[in-house]
Structure 1
Amino acid sequence: MIKIYSNYMANFRGLSREIWLLSLVTFINRAGAMVIPFLSLYLVNVEGFTLPQVGWIMSCFGLGSLAGTYIGGRLTDTIGFYKVIISSLFLGGVGFILLQFLNTFYGFCIGIFILTLMADAGRPAIFVAADTYSKPGNITRSITLIRLAINLGFSIGPLVGGLIIAHINYTSLFWIDGLTCMLAAFGVFLLLQPKKQKNKNEVKSITVKEGIPPYLNKLFILFFVIMVANSLAFVQYFSVMPIYYEQVHFLSEDVIGWLLFINGATIVIFEMPLIAWLDRKQISKTMATFWGIFFLGLSFLVLNLTSWSGILVVAMLLMTLGEMIGFPFSNALALEMAPKGRKGSYMGLYSMSFSFAHLIGHNGGMNLVNSFGYFSTWTVFSIFLLFIALLTIWLYFQLKKSEAGKV
């Protein structure tokens, strides 16, 4: 056990002080984001909106994420990551506090859009900061630490949020979310010293663009479509699924928080060793993406097998296994498919797949449930993901054929 712990911790030795501080701030921010997992429940139970209305509000969430990521990336290049991170955290905190005072459908649509735009504007800046503060050769491990901080925060946040709702009220969540975002902003301001990004002129002098842009790369566009489809199903666990837990299995918010905690905690404990083991087995990145989609589809299928509430834990673990295998390797596959000098544009398109999923996934799931019920909705997602998994296998053979052609 001691050896396992030592090997696990060895992955994080040698990282800079700034990366650890950046991860701590990210953890505080994500742990404070308690409203998001319970937003659909709040909109139905407190505000009295219908499922289709909640779907449109969540589409505005996705649209704000899409706009925020794009604007944040542009602002990071012009005014620097330091100002973008602080502004995003502080304004996002203000947005969370003000959100509780909205009570109309269109008000929520606009409010969620603006809030997500401000909050997600900091996402590109965080990773640019990681690149800037990383020691030579440590960028991958630095990003991994930040990813673990995000997942640890996301596992603790819903757990605490569910307890707060059960024992206090929903309103408290908005205040806590807002204040923790502001606390994270002050943490960056006080603890993280601004640092210039790597010399742009130096980068330009050695950058040679090869290959074709991502939107002209047919295989990458197919991969992008696969990732959008996978994410469409994945986001159901954070909007439609909490309502399913309450309406069908009669779970309270604190128990729902524990279920969501399983996801983040499992990732924090097992993702790094699992990925290291799969790397040693030299699994194909495309096939790892296939298995991620397969396990996600299986998580929807098992929900229809029994009315036993314990199946919810099984489904959550299957979904988490799919996430742990699929997302890291799909990220690596996107980088692998990107030619020299075009990695930014390829990774930008890859990152947008999740924003597109937020834009249409929540809305589609809510309307499916409203029209056909949960049983049919989970069946549709199971069949849909089976088709996407088969499409991923086809991509695997096309990529192998493409590589053979180069040789």
Structure 2
Amino acid sequence: MLLNAFQRYINNFRGFTREIWILTIITFINRAGTMVLPFLSKYLREDLHFSYSEVGWIMVCFGCGSMIGSWLGGKLSDKIGFYKIMIFSLFTTGILLLLVEFVTSFIGLCIGMFTLMIIADMFRPAMFVSIGAYAKPENRTRALTLVRLAVNLGFSAGPALGGIIIMSMGYRGLFWVDGATCMLAILVFALLVKEKKKSPFLDKEHHNEALPQSVFKDKPFWIFQACCLVCGILFFQVFTTIPLYHGEQFHLTELQTGLLLTMNGLLIFFLEMPLVSFVERKKISKIKMVFIGCFLMAISLFLMLVKVWAGILVIMMLFMTFGEMFAFPFSNSVSLSRAPKGHEGRYMAIYTMSFSMAHILSSKMGMQIIQDFGYAANWIFMGILGIMGTFFGLWSYRLIKAENTIAN
């Protein structure tokens, strides 16, 4: 019976092209090296001694750069091709990470993080479009999930390794490792994968996938992005306010915080692909999965109000992890499936921009609420926001269901 279960698990990973596997491997290399993000707020607060408000403003610059980079990456992917954008973005990001380590002033870090994220987040929409070019149409959601698994497996290794690097080399060692892995990952990609000029992806063979030609006229898409925005705001608390809370309320070390994130990554690695396969086999609505995920994230933030028992951090992370598994792989797929042929880059730019905006709002709102009203007020605010996001997801689900009914 155990052998059969293992065989079913392995079957979820069959049918992918060579290019998708290479993309997955370089994504893992890159994400395993991305140790700066989970510890950035702690680095700014504890090593450079900035106030909560200053940390929030640096994170705002981080998010603003991310938004501009996401939009540029999407536009340029449609204009000159995703392949060139991916190589330029990741290699240049590696160089900039090595340089930003030497910047320690508030203004310098605001400018540095803004510039770094413009370049770095050009990669994301280009990478999503590349999955369209290299994956078979019937494997689109599973290919997106496979790459997400690489992200999460990398994150599961990265924070624990990051905690060890901080304890042995200090925070600045993270910038060197992150920069080096960015350059290594994209060099592997450039050597092993040839540029594909034309994508057969999203040929719109099915009439119920016919969409408005302008992304700005796609009302269900924008309402769905509001749900994605809320999911991002809640999830990014894991990388901004929650690591600080671990230390200040429960006196956890960086390594212990890293291990909680490792648990998140390992659960996603083992459970997300079977979950996606199950949803696709049973033809469960992907939008429904997203707003259920948003609701689970809201519960996870409400659980943070329990401050007398450190074990609540594990339970909270379980709810956040399942919320993430429900929301993110399907939000990728829904957003990409809305795009008419030739508009994939624009749609995925807006999708990635929603998460960049989430980063801005999550860090600034969270830090400001904590500074003015305390941690409990932040958890209540974020939980209520999650309930609102759930309603946005339900609204978009009903609009798209009505749209498909008319089309049929």
Aligned match of 2:323: 322
Does structure 1 residue 393 correspond to structure 2 residue 394? yes
Distance 1:242 1:141, change over 3 A: same
Does structure 1 residue 121 correspond to structure 2 residue 122? yes
CA RMSD of superposed structures (Å): 2.8
**What are the equivalent positions in structure 2 for 1:5-24 lying under 5 Å apart?**
5-24=6-25
Aligned match of 1:155: 156
Q: Deviations over 1:81-105 (max 9, x none)?
A: 3332222222111111111111111
Letter in 2 for 1:121: M
Name which of structure 1's ranges 300-309 and 44-53 shifts more when overlaid on structure 2: 300-309
Does structure 1 residue 104 correspond to structure 2 residue 125? no
Take 1:403 and 1:195, find their aligned partners in 2: how far apart are those partners? 32
Aligned match of 1:232: 233
Q: Deviations over 1:197-245 (max 9, x none)?
A: 3489xx89xx997436343343333222222123222211111111111
Distance 1:145 1:226, change over 3 A: closer
Query: SS in structure 2 opposite 1:237?
Result: coil
Take 1:233 and 1:294, find their aligned partners in 2: how far apart are those partners? 10
Q: Deviations over 1:242-270 (max 9, x none)?
A: 11111111111111110111111111110
Segments of structure 1 that go 5 or more residues without pairing to the other structure are none
Query: SS in structure 2 opposite 1:264?
Result: helix
Shift of 1:280: 4.1
Letter in 2 for 1:186: L
Shift of 1:394: 4.3
Query: SS in structure 1 opposite 2:197?
Result: coil
Letter in 2 for 1:257: G
Take 2:406 and 2:11, find their aligned partners in 1: how far apart are those partners? 40
Shift of 1:404: 4.8
Aligned match of 2:190: 189
Take 2:364 and 2:100, find their aligned partners in 1: how far apart are those partners? 20
Distance 1:214 1:108, change over 3 A: same
Q: Deviations over 1:152-201 (max 9, x none)?
A: 1111111110121123311211111111112123222333334433489x
Aligned match of 2:248: 247
Take 2:99 and 2:193, find their aligned partners in 1: how far apart are those partners? 28
Letter in 2 for 1:296: M
**What are the equivalent positions in structure 2 for 1:256-267 lying under 5 Å apart?**
256-267=257-268
Aligned match of 1:311: 312
Take 1:171 and 1:8, find their aligned partners in 2: how far apart are those partners? 39
Shift of 1:79: 4.2
Name which of structure 1's ranges 380-389 and 75-84 shifts more when overlaid on structure 2: 75-84
TM-score when normalising by structure 2: 0.90
Q: Tell me which of the two structures has the higher relative contact order, counting C-alpha pairs closer than 8 angstroms and 6 or more residues apart.
A: 2
Contact kept? 2:140, 2:333, Cα under 8 Å = no
**What are the equivalent positions in structure 2 for 1:139-218 lying under 5 Å apart?**
139-198=140-199, 210-211=211-212, 213-218=214-219
Shift of 1:383: 1.9
Shift of 1:281: 4.3
Contact kept? 1:210, 1:341, Cα under 8 Å = no
Take 1:79 and 1:53, find their aligned partners in 2: how far apart are those partners? 38
Shift of 1:391: 4.1
Shift of 1:14: 3.4
Letter in 2 for 1:142: A
Aligned match of 2:28: 27
Name which of structure 1's ranges 131-140 and 118-127 shifts more when overlaid on structure 2: 131-140
Contact kept? 1:210, 1:342, Cα under 8 Å = no
Name which of structure 1's ranges 147-156 and 83-92 shifts more when overlaid on structure 2: 83-92
Does structure 1 residue 46 correspond to structure 2 residue 50? no
Take 1:161 and 1:211, find their aligned partners in 2: how far apart are those partners? 45
Take 1:77 and 1:401, find their aligned partners in 2: how far apart are those partners? 30
Shift of 1:78: 4.3
Take 2:101 and 2:262, find their aligned partners in 1: how far apart are those partners? 24
The count of corresponding residues between Structure 1 and Structure 2 is 405
Aligned match of 1:289: 290
Take 1:77 and 1:192, find their aligned partners in 2: how far apart are those partners? 19
Segments of structure 2 that go 5 or more residues without pairing to the other structure are none
Aligned match of 2:370: 369
Does structure 1 residue 278 correspond to structure 2 residue 279? yes
Shift of 1:72: 2.2
Letter in 2 for 1:150: V
